[in-house]
Amino acid sequence: MNTTKPLETELDIERLGGRGDGVGKVGDEKVYVPFTVPGDHVRARVGGRRGEGFSAELIDVIEAGPDRAEPPCLYFGRCGGCAMQHVTPVAELEWKRRLVSDALGRRGLDEVPVSDTVTVPADSRRRTTFTVINAGGRILLGYLARGSHRVIPIQSCSVLDPDLECLILPLTALAHNLPIPRKGLQVSLTKTGSGLDIVVGGRKDLTLELRERLTEFSRQHDLARLSWGAKHPEPVIMQRTPTVEFGGITVEPPMTGFLQASVAAEKALSDQVVDHLNDCKHVVDLFAGIGTFALALAGEGRGIRAYDGDEEAISALRRAVNNSAGRVNIDIEVRDLEQRALSADEFTKVEGVVLDPPRAGAKRQCRALAQSGVRKIAYVSCAPGTFARDARSLVDGGYTLKSVVPINQFPWSSHVELVGCFEK
What positions carry a catalytic annotation? Answer: 382
- Going by C-beta distance under 8 Å and a sequence separation of 6 or more, which residues neighbour residue 356? 286, 287, 288, 289, 292, 293, 380, 381
User: Which of 380, 376, 346 has the alpha carbon at shortest distance from 361?
Assistant: 380
User: Which of 185, 83, 172, 133 has the alpha carbon at shortest distance from 408?
Assistant: 83
DSSP string covering 305-342: EEEES-HHHHHHHHHHHHTTTTS--EEEEE--TTTSPP
- Going by C-beta distance under 8 Å and a sequence separation of 6 or more, which residues neighbour residue 267? none
Q: Which long-range contacts (CB under 8 A, 24 or more apart) does 144-148 make?
A: 144/80, 145/78, 145/79, 145/80, 146/34, 146/78, 146/79, 146/80, 146/83, 147/80, 148/80
Please say whether the beta carbons of 298 and 328 come within 8 A.
yes
User: Which of 420, 421, 408 has the alpha carbon at shortest distance from 95?
Assistant: 408
Q: What angle do CA 381, 383, 387 make, to 5 degrees?
A: 65
Looking at the chain, how many residues does it have?
424
C-alpha–C-alpha distance, residues 230 and 17, integer Å: 36
List helix spans (H) across 134-178. 162-165, 168-175
DSSP label at 123? G
10 Å CB burial of residue 241 (0-12, 13-18, 19+) is middle
User: Which of 162, 159, 166 has the alpha carbon at shortest distance from 143?
Assistant: 159
C-alpha–C-alpha distance, residues 229 and 1, integer Å: 50
- Tell me whether strands 376-381 and 352-355 are parallel, antiparallel or unpaired: parallel
Q: What share of the chain is helix, strand, coil (3-state, %, to 5)?
A: 25, 35, 40
Beta bridge partners of 332: 306
Please say whether the beta carbons of 291 and 299 come within 8 A.
no
